[in-house]
Chain A
Amino acid sequence: MTGGRKAIYHYGYRRSPDQDARQPVRHPVVVVGAGPVGLTAAIDLALRGVPVVLLDDANRIGEGSRGICYAKRTLEILDRLGVGSDLVRQGVTWKLGKVYLGDDLVYAFDLLPEDGHKMPAFINLQQYYLEKALVDRALEIERIDLRWSNRVSALEKRSDGVTLTVETPDGPYRLATDWVVAADGARSTIRDLLGLGFEGVTFEDKFLIADVRMAADFPTERRFWFDPPFHTGQSALMHRQPDNVWRIDLQLGPDADADAEQKPERVIPRLKKMLGERPFELEWVSIYRFNCRRLARFVHGRVIFAGDSAHQVSPFGARGANSGVQDAENLAWKLAAVLSGDAGEALLESYDLERIQGADENVGHSTRSTDFIAPHSPAERALRNAVLDLARHCDFARRMVNSGRLSVATVYDSPLTTPDEENFAGSARLGAPVPDAPVRTRAGRDGFLVEQLTGTFEILHIKQGARPQAPPGVKLTVIGEDLQDSAGLLAKRFDASPGATYLLRPDQYLCARWRTFDPDRIAAAHRRALGR
């Protein structure tokens, strides 16, 4: 790739004892692909007690910035895995988006208008920093066996698992596993080996994506232009990253020549029209065409797809890496529960169902955004331009302007959820991650609710009289005893009353709630959330 940067982090291939075994050594889980999704899955599984072999075909990270926007829910997951707070410190926090038509601001949005959340709406951070943090974390965990320069070349299904053939610098070896998590990206080898195809749309328009290093005092906001004076008739996007690096996307239309357009002699004049005479250096350049599509199913027997191998979206809305990390966390607790015998394999059907619902939401949003940014025909463009013309004058049209609807966690319509029997208001929703709120611990330390959740099934109970007894396998936290609702926001967000009881899944999703503590109803909801 022209203008591509050199990798910044190198890792060594090391021979595994598995390569000298006479019979394929058997493992409970092999994760294929050490990108953000595979690393998240491996770390989450390992923290739940599952030993993981993590294979990656490369021995380095850091070629290009790629994903840059990480959403609040993703940051909460990364925080539970032990890297979230450092990444927030390292990243650029933002929550404001602005959309311009020509030079005029037509629409602005605030993605997190309320206080009392530990994690911001979004950070921007080069993907290689996220991957580096996750690799460092994985290397601390003994249960993770991370094997660089291990490329899967063949896959053989058995009734109770899979045998993989893996190519290494020392030649091939075979590896047996009960489960494969295929997090091997958009060009997934595992998907090809299973002969699986996609359903969805490919957009003809090409986009120039450039990371530029420069000293600039542009605001820390997502800025999007339709038909800007510096790039007439097309769209442009600008986003700040750490290290004085700026992400710039320029729409080039369907007829652009991808090879010619990524040459610096073409890229630099385009950027100069946008950036003026301010000096800048090109960090990374690529030309993309976008797909919005997914696999029909994510669970194929003992092979489970997560992230870009399962679904792909355009970048407008930051739904790629974010949805992949959310796949990984949805899968990790379920697979761990199946392996420990707490749940049957049927629980994994709920991964398919919930994350396909998530993928459809993401594919739908990113398709609608891309339809708006890059209309398919002159007739569609005429209607899009009519919206933009009206947006200068009318509120209803501003709200139709779609430069990307940004990633938020999917609210699952899931069989794991026990429907409400009583009324609840507030922002907590069944099938959604619980809202965060400030809390004070017994030790008197001020913190946040979500960081107190340990990744098991957990009950939040609003104190009313004596401390109740939680059913086996469920952790009890009494609000007003173990944690204090220090700002009164927890009560408001959960619509809490004395005695109110909330059951959270290991992924912090709310799966049942009641006005009183009833051990039988809690036990039934717990069984249901385990797919039993």
Chain B
Amino acid sequence: MADLVTTSNFPNPDAVYVTLIDARRGLSETDAAALDARLVLILANHIGDLEVLRQAIGLARKTGKNNGAQGK
């Protein structure tokens, strides 16, 4: 069982950020959210490890401003 990698996995992190920004440039808030949702599903399937996915969700919730503490 793998652990979530939180150290940088890319030799060029700026290129990754730009790629993700480019994907949403010009999209409305709704369309960007829909794109993100598809992207989450595609990447989750590619990772293929429920435990890593849970750790990623845990990290995402913990680090947001509205961290979803009231969520179910």
Q: Which A residues contact B (CB, under 8 angstroms)?
A: 382-383, 385-387, 389-390, 394, 396-397, 400
Q: What separation, in Å, do the CA atoms of A438 and B40 have in the docked complex?
A: 48
Q: List 21 A-B contacts (CB under 8 A).
A: A382-B37, A383-B37, A383-B40, A385-B34, A385-B37, A386-B34, A386-B37, A386-B38, A386-B40, A386-B41, A387-B41, A389-B34, A389-B38, A390-B41, A390-B42, A394-B42, A394-B45, A396-B41, A396-B45, A397-B41, A397-B45
* Shortest distance between the CB of A378 and any CB in chain B (Å): 9
Q: What separation, in Å, do the CA atoms of A518 and B40 have in the docked complex?
A: 55
Q: What separation, in Å, do the CA atoms of A386 and B35 have in the docked complex?
A: 8
Interface status of B33 (Cβ within 8 A of chain A)? yes
A386 nearest in chain B by CB position: B37
A387 nearest in chain B by CB position: B41
Kindly list chain B residues whose C-beta atoms are within 8 Å of the C-beta of A400: 41
Interface residues of B in 20-59 (CB under 8 A from A): 33-34, 37-38, 40-42, 45
Kindly list chain B residues whose C-beta atoms are within 8 Å of the C-beta of A394: 42, 45
Seed contacts A389-B38, A390-B38; 14 additional CB < 8 Å A-B pairs: A382-B34, A383-B37, A383-B40, A383-B41, A385-B34, A385-B37, A386-B34, A386-B37, A386-B40, A386-B41, A389-B34, A394-B45, A396-B41, A396-B45
Kindly list chain B residues whose C-beta atoms are within 8 Å of the C-beta of A389: 34, 38
Describe A's contact surface by its main secondary structure. Answer: helix
Q: What separation, in Å, do the CA atoms of A422 and B45 have in the docked complex?
A: 36
Describe B's contact surface by its main secondary structure. Answer: helix
- How many residues on chain B are close to A (CB under 8 Å)? 8
Q: Which B residues contact A (CB, under 8 angstroms)?
A: 33-34, 37-38, 40-42, 45
* Shortest distance between the CB of B64 and any CB in chain A (Å): 13
* Shortest distance between the CB of A385 and any CB in chain B (Å): 7
* Shortest distance between the CB of A399 and any CB in chain B (Å): 10
* Shortest distance between the CB of B42 and any CB in chain A (Å): 7
Kindly list chain A residues whose C-beta atoms are within 8 Å of the C-beta of B33: 382
A395 nearest in chain B by CB position: B45
Q: Which 3 A-B pairs have the closest CB atoms?
A: A386-B37, A396-B45, A386-B38
